[in-house]
Structure 1
């Protein structure tokens, strides 16, 4: 049931990818709004994971998950009925709020419920669900978009949520931790500001200007200095204030948003760094690839979903191999094998995709990529949490989930910017080489980029602009290649980050939280047996 709950938010994070061209055509949103449709969800999700990871330990983990499911379902209904891009982005923000309640509580429930070998299996199922549903989301979204409307990509969530609420009430026990820490609201606000201003700067840089404000780009901003560097500076200052406040409150014995002492645990600290960097490269590509498949190769949404289902196939195969491989070589080594497979898959895509490509050239690399995601995701989660005390499981799971979501948010922001900026620069250069006047050049480039490639079909239909359409396809392909190679580069950094992880391997035989003889977790009012010290 817990894996079903997490599947809802993971599917929604990816289901919208193949629907983007239809959303662009229906609501008339530009490429910056395209990124915000993705980012608004991820941004709120990442910003509030820590808050709800801690709060769930006090409120009750099942209760928090149920509130999140209801919130998510209501927001999905609003998204399905959205009359404009702004309304859709607003609904996605609310979805992020519900998702932030669901994800950390699922990990915390697993950490508090299972022991020993069963915990390793539970983490493997949880991680494989993430990998598999991330890939199945585009297929489901493609079918709903082609057969009905992109709105059903969101409208399908409420009835599923009803079944999940019933299932959680029947089969998931309530649990909470004694003496769970209170939420530090000031630190929570600082974390939201930190992540929000960081993502805003990364997404809006190409539209507003990275240093000086572009002409006509921001009527609400009267200064020559662009709001982008200001936003990034606020992010840095907020992050510094967050850490300083947390350390000072911890030294005085006051509650903090996250227990900073957890970062003295090597596996937790180094694992979070690796999780952030890996996530940056993992899912950012799922923004650019559907756009390329539909607007360059001419696939419809369902065909695009079928291509991306190769990811699910790779993840499914990995789920069967992960446990045996972990027992043979250890969890950390399995993570490294998974990341290496991702690098091969994503980097290979950068070379495989051309305007003349077919699904047969793309699918093998997607399969390898999915195989790597399936191997790395679950085992990295286990490595991060393996030495965390049970009473801190909510805070710890919220922290590691936040690391992943920050990475995903940065991936969408950075790789989306690489995609559109690369496409824009390449198309402008191609048209300039052909002697196209600057004004006409800007008009064509803006049409192609702002429509996320949707304007290519219209250019191709007009004999007078058919050659320009060919150039646009080449340029969008080039931008997608840049995005794939950038993703591979971040994954290389993630692989290097895993080299700092310790060599100690217990692979689930040691329960997280065995550092104190007085640790307790209550389940349905009953006290769990105390853990023993090592």
Structure 2
């Protein structure tokens, strides 16, 4: 197999078909990642789920996706990007069907774990296919077209997802992936050329080995701490199950560090990256900001439906202005950061977002969207817009060029881990347990407490940026945000896993 794929041109049938494949596949992930939050009240009532069940519905997906996404990219490089991409599409779709057929909460959670693993194969392949398949002269136009067309799915996602939940059932947000996947598979087989990295696919003796041990240890560490946080309210902090989960998490984390240090530059996460203080600081910042985002969206979607009394469609549309701001403003924020450095945007952005959360904290039953919800959403979206592109550019500029892929992938994983930990920890911190999310008074108190915690996380991120972030020594590359935004509107269209 050739080291690089044939150089497609955008104006050709194969070029347009390959672009359509990447857009449709990304749209599947964007829609499923985001509308699940909107569906939580309905699926919770239908399946009789507790708060812990809702937490695992979100976190099961995030856990396997965050842990295996770097491994998924490496598999594509070695065995063929199209091949692994197709495997990811089929896997993701099969798991989606299992989600839609779920009759119990544990069934749904197990299917979400599988869906995240499929997404880890699919997500890196979407853009790597474009990068590897197109002629260098067309790559910039192709990535721009991908971002713009993905923006269409960003705009349509809240409407489609909310309408499906209201008109049919929450199950259809998962079943919708089946016809999309059929189109993706047929178009991929018809138009997308195969490609792989020959340096990654040599014989076992000379090629790179996969860091399967690192990936599995990462899953154990994340699963242990997530289980402990989610189950502590019901079982008690001193229960044997919770204590064992904490012990497993600590031992797995220590083993992960040991394994990664021994593997050196062949590790899934080369520990030498953290020799860059800026890279380390930016990833701590990422965890804090995306923890605030994940925690907010988990509570906000449930609160709007169970307390304010909105439909799933209105809930899905509520945060649409935030997505529009990200679409329009991220390129401008990236340009501003390149001109003045990242410290000011990464300081002002979280503060602005925190003010937005404090405004949204006062939303109550029967609230007016225009007077009470929209101002907070605009402030929160404006703050995120100042953060996302400068953060990505700075992460890439903080490490050597040869580590750009793993640095971007790790930062993406850090954003998912932030959301995962917030969804696991916040209900414990605000005392929301059992079916409390169905009780307006209990949910209101928990919602307001959770948004206060989220605002505090954003302010902590701003303080870290103000004190420790400096302009990278290397010129930051033009950045498309690499984070998958776990919000009630689909992922930012420039989200990518390199």
The TM tier, using the shorter chain, reads 0.7 to 0.9
Residue 215 of structure 2 contacts residue 268 of structure 2 at CA under 8 Å; is this kept in 1?
yes
Match of 1:144 in 2: 164
How many residue pairs were aligned? 449
More deviation, 266-275/286-295:
266-275
Match of 2:369 in 1: 359
Cα deviation code 1:44-102 (max 9, x no counterpart) = 11221232233333233343333212211111111112222222112111110111123
Match of 2:437 in 1: 453
| 1:102 is aligned to 2:102 | no
Match of 1:399 in 2: 410
CA distance in 1, matches of 2:163, 2:175: 13
Cα deviation code 1:146-190 (max 9, x no counterpart) = 011111111111222233345556367734262463113222221
Cα deviation code 1:439-493 (max 9, x no counterpart) = xxxxxxxxxx533533x4xxxxxxxxxxxxxxxx333212101111111111222
Residue 52 of structure 1 contacts residue 101 of structure 1 at CA under 8 Å; is this kept in 2?
yes
Is the partner of 1:506 in helix, strand or coil? Answer: coil
Residue 56 of structure 2 contacts residue 109 of structure 2 at CA under 8 Å; is this kept in 1?
yes
CA distance in 2, matches of 1:485, 1:145: 29
Deviation at 1:137, TM superposition (A): 4.6
Match of 1:31 in 2: 51
1:508 corresponds to which of 472, 477, 482: 477
CA distance in 2, matches of 1:131, 1:399: 24
Residue 342 of structure 2 contacts residue 470 of structure 2 at CA under 8 Å; is this kept in 1?
no
CA distance in 1, matches of 2:88, 2:421: 24
Deviation at 1:293, TM superposition (A): 1.0
State the TM-score, normalizing by the size of structure 1. 0.74
Change (3 A) 1:385 1:67: farther
CA distance in 1, matches of 2:23, 2:344: 25
CA distance in 2, matches of 1:142, 1:131: 18
Match of 2:181 in 1: 161
State the TM-score, normalizing by the size of structure 2. 0.79
Q: What does residue range 220-231 of structure 1 map to in structure 2 within 5 Å?
A: 226-231=240-245
Q: What does residue range 230-245 of structure 1 map to in structure 2 within 5 Å?
A: 230-245=244-259
| 1:317 is aligned to 2:346 | no
CA radius of gyration, larger in: 1
CA distance in 1, matches of 2:285, 2:407: 15
Deviation at 1:16, TM superposition (A): 1.1
Match of 2:263 in 1: 249
Structure 1, unpaired ranges of 5+: 214-225, 424-448, 457-472, 511-534
CA distance in 2, matches of 1:230, 1:120: 50
More deviation, 167-176/66-75:
167-176
Deviation at 1:14, TM superposition (A): 1.6
Deviation at 1:348, TM superposition (A): 2.4
Deviation at 1:260, TM superposition (A): 2.1
Match of 2:426 in 1: 415
Match of 1:47 in 2: 67
Deviation at 1:27, TM superposition (A): 1.6
Is the partner of 1:47 in helix, strand or coil? Answer: helix
Q: What does residue range 271-310 of structure 1 map to in structure 2 within 5 Å?
A: 271-310=282-321
Residue 123 of structure 1 contacts residue 378 of structure 1 at CA under 8 Å; is this kept in 2?
no
Structure 2, unpaired ranges of 5+: 1-18, 201-206, 480-498
Is the partner of 1:150 in helix, strand or coil? Answer: coil
Cα deviation code 1:249-275 (max 9, x no counterpart) = 33xx8x423222232344433332222
Deviation at 1:391, TM superposition (A): 5.2
| 1:174 is aligned to 2:195 | yes
Change (3 A) 1:11 1:498: farther
Residue 285 of structure 1 contacts residue 484 of structure 1 at CA under 8 Å; is this kept in 2?
yes
Is the partner of 1:283 in helix, strand or coil? Answer: helix
Match of 1:208 in 2: 235
Cα deviation code 1:220-251 (max 9, x no counterpart) = xxxxxx3213312221121111111221333x
Match of 2:487 in 1: none
Residue 346 of structure 1 contacts residue 488 of structure 1 at CA under 8 Å; is this kept in 2?
yes
